[in-house]
Amino acid sequence: MNLIAYAVYTVLLVTVILRIGHLCYRHGRVYTDAFFPKDAEFSKSINDVLLVAYYLINLGYGITVVATWEDVQNIIGVVQSVTSHFSMILLILAVLHYSNLFIIKLIYQFKFK
């Protein structure tokens, strides 16, 4: 049963990582450009660093989860395991997203004021 849980979790995680990463990168550029209107290269660099950090955090979390996954005995256990691990990464990403917005605002205030 663990192989089923790993497979479902991996498919969900890879889909979310790639989809959300691409959306945040594309739409986030608008915000970094707005924060740094005088320095387009700096804005792109920040957006690139945020994307790489996003991928690394997700990769690290995914590997950690699979390495410490508990034994699953039935299909209910598979659903519970996958949803609990998947919801945790979504919560972590939400917190990181709002933290990044706050930090970028601080950088803007420090750099241009």
Query: Where in the sequence is the domain holding 56, given as residue range(s)?
Result: 2-112
**pLDDT tens digits, 4-51:** 888 888 998 899 889 989 998 999 888 888 878 888 898 899 899 989
Is residue 113 over pLDDT 80?
Answer: no
3-state DSSP assignment of residue 111: helix
Other residues' Cβ atoms within 10 Å of the Cβ of residue 19: 10
Number of domains in the chain: 1
Task: Return d(Cα 35, Cα 102) in angstroms, integer.
Answer: 12
Task: Return d(Cα 75, Cα 79) in angstroms, integer.
Answer: 6
65 near 5, Cβ under 8 Å? no
Find, among 38, 30, 31, the residue nearest to 112 by Cα.
38
**pLDDT tens digits, 38-92:** 888 988 998 999 899 999 998 999 889 888 888 888 999 889 999 998 899 889 8
Q: What is the dihedral of CA 32, 33, 35, 39, to 10 degrees?
A: 110
Instruction: Spell 77-104 as b/e; 16+ CB within 10 A means b.
Output: bbeebbeebbeebeeebeeeeeebeeeb
